[in-house]
Amino acid sequence: MTIRVSRFAPAGLVSLLAVFAASAAQADEVQVAVAANFTAPIQAIAADFEKDTGHKLVAAYGATGQFYTQIKNGAPFEVFLSADDTTPEKLEKEGDTVKGSRFTYAIGTLALWSAKEGYVDSKGEVLKKNEYQHLSIANPKAAPYGLAATQVLEKLKLTEATKTKIVEGQNITQAYQFVSTGNAELGFVALSQIFKDGKVTSGSAWIVPASMHDPIKQDAVILNKGKDNAAAKALVEYLKGPKAAAVIKSYGYQL
């Protein structure tokens, strides 16, 4: 980056431009693997992060299990925002992360959702009525929200009854898309996909009680490729701060 300053510029302006040039030179880019359920929050956070720190966040979105495989195969990710706590812990034990960098950035909430107003009741009784043709969930082997969905069905003793109705998405974004496009009448999604500022933004939903499935603790960690990247360290610290926390909570997550 080149900044040209007139020899007639005031000394104060020269000093300010020097500070700006120094900070710009120190700005870095961080490659982040982001669990699909956290797409909207991280997009909002990224804008503030770049404005406040000068660093740029470049995100890829997908299923946690798929990201694990990509990371093990050498993908260039520097920070991993997982949809669970077990995958980052596993990477930590396998020596793929910066020691001491792992922390829980959000606790997710599962919701049963339909794009149709009034279709899903506030207690999820629509599941037991069994009058729908398709029920969308994320792949339980790759997506923690999909696993949580299967636990809910098991708890309600509906595993067998819904077996032929399940439409499985590769990740929670695809599970959401099946419902939003009408290919499934209802489905289990992340609350963050349909919730903003205290209310469900479209359709109808049952917010699944946390007691019906294992906690969806979402951990972040700096990967080895990011150990010397100032932007990676800055992002992790930013996610712990009040500005990011306000965004995360606005999408229905717990902290």
pTM: 0.82
Task: Considering only residues 57 and 23, tell me which one the structure prediction assigns the higher pLDDT.
Answer: 57
What is the average pLDDT value for the chain, to the nearest integer? 91
Residues contributing to the annotated binding site: 64, 172
Give the pLDDT confidence score for residue 82 in this predicted structure: 97
For residue 160, give every residue at least 6 positions away whose Cβ sits within 8 Å of its Cβ, in sequence order, or none: none
d(CA 42, CA 19): 29
Please enumerate, by residue number, every residue annotated as part of a binding site for molybdate.
Answer: 64, 172
How confident is the model over 53-78, as pLDDT tens digits? 999 999 999 999 999 999 999 999 99
What is the distance between the alpha carbons of residues 51 and 220, in angstroms, rounded to a whole number?
Answer: 22
Model confidence at 176: pLDDT above 60: yes
Residue 182 neighbours by CB distance under 10 Å: 11
Q: What is the pLDDT of residues 102-143, one digit of tens each?
A: 999 999 999 999 999 999 999 999 999 999 999 999 999 989
Residues 31, 217: Cα–Cα separation, whole Å: 22
Q: Which domains does the chain have, with CATH numbers?
A: 28-107+216-250 (3.40.190.10), 108-212 (3.40.190.10)
In this predicted structure, the answer to whether residue 200 has a pLDDT above a threshold of 80 is: yes
pLDDT for position 36 = 93
Side by side, the strands of the sheet bearing 29-35 are 56-62, 29-35, 79-81, 216-222, 103-108
